Amino acid sequence: MELIGYCACALIGISLGLIGAGGSILMVPVLVFLFRMPPVLATSYSLFVVGITSFFAATGKFRKGDVLVGSALTFGLTSMVAVVAIRQFVIPIMPKSFGHLGHATLSYDLLSIVLFACLMILAAIVMINKSGKTDCVTMEGSSSFMLSIPYALLIGTVTGFLGAGGGFILIPVMTLMLGMDIKKAVGTSLAVVALNSLSGFANDLNHVDINWKFLLVISAMALLGSIAGARIADRVNSKKLKAGFGWFILMLGILIITRECYSFFQIV
d(CA 22, CA 242): 9
**What pLDDT is recorded for position 216?**
95
Residue 136 DSSP label:
-
**pLDDT (0 to 100) of residue 60:** 84
Q: What is the pLDDT of residue 116?
A: 78
> pLDDT tens digit string along 61-75?
898 888 888 888 888
Question: What's the confidence (pLDDT) of residue 131?
Answer: 57
Residues of the chain with pLDDT under 50: 134-143
Q: What amino acid occupies position 221?
A: M
Residue 132: its pLDDT value, please? 52
Helix-helix angle 182-204:39-63, to 10 degrees: 140
Q: Which amino acid is at 124?
A: A
Report the alpha-carbon distance of residue 108 to residue 86 in Å, rounded: 15
Is the pTM of the predicted complex or chain greater than 0.85? no
Q: How many alpha carbons fall within 13 Å on the CB side of residue 186?
A: 19
Coil, helix or strand for 46? helix
Rounded CA separation 177/157 (Å): 19
Domain count, the chain: 1
For residue 169, give its domain range: 2-267
Let me know: does 192 contact 148? Beta carbons within 8 Å. Answer: no
The answer to whether the beta carbons of residues 12 and 26 sit under 8 Å apart is yes
DSSP state of 206: T
User: In this predicted structure, what is the pLDDT of residue 238?
Assistant: 62
